[in-house]
Amino acid sequence: MAMPAIDNRVTTVRETHECPHCGRVMNKWAVPQGPWPTWDNEFMYICFNDQCSYLTRNREFNYAEGRPGLTYRQMYDPDRNCLQPIPIISLVALRDGIVD
């Protein structure tokens, strides 16, 4: 069962599309079509703020753990109404899928 604070965070993101970590509006991102359908929805929302604390904390953690270059952006899945990480290996990764 989810904690109330997490439920409130997801509700806020669903209504505003603002990243819960930095407050910037997340970009609508087209889910790429391919031979391995990971997600069945057409789009997600991803925080592309390169200064977002979620991204920078994960980058520092992964560097300390011996995984330099790997980090995560915050992603919101509107079909499942959930927040989840999406891994990236560079700050320009996934940007070509921004649709707004």
Candidates 53, 62, 25, 34; CA nearest to 88 is 62
SS3 state at 76? strand
**Do 29 and 44 form a contact (C-beta atoms < 8 A)?**
yes
Domain membership of residue 52 (yes or no) is yes
Domain membership of residue 55 (yes or no) is yes
Compute how many other C-beta atoms are within 10 angstroms of the C-beta atom of residue 41: 10
Specify the pTM.
Answer: 0.87
Domain range for 93 = 4-33+44-97
**Do 43 and 56 form a contact (C-beta atoms < 8 A)?**
no
Domain membership of residue 21 (yes or no) is yes
Mean pLDDT value across the chain: 89
Q: Please tell me the total count of domains within the chain.
A: 1
Between 26 and 68, where is the model more confident? 26
Chain-centre distance for alpha carbon 1: 22
Q: pLDDT of 34-57, one tens digit each?
A: 765 677 889 999 999 999 999 999
Q: pLDDT of 18-33, one tens digit each?
A: 999 999 999 999 998 8
Domain membership of residue 39 (yes or no) is no
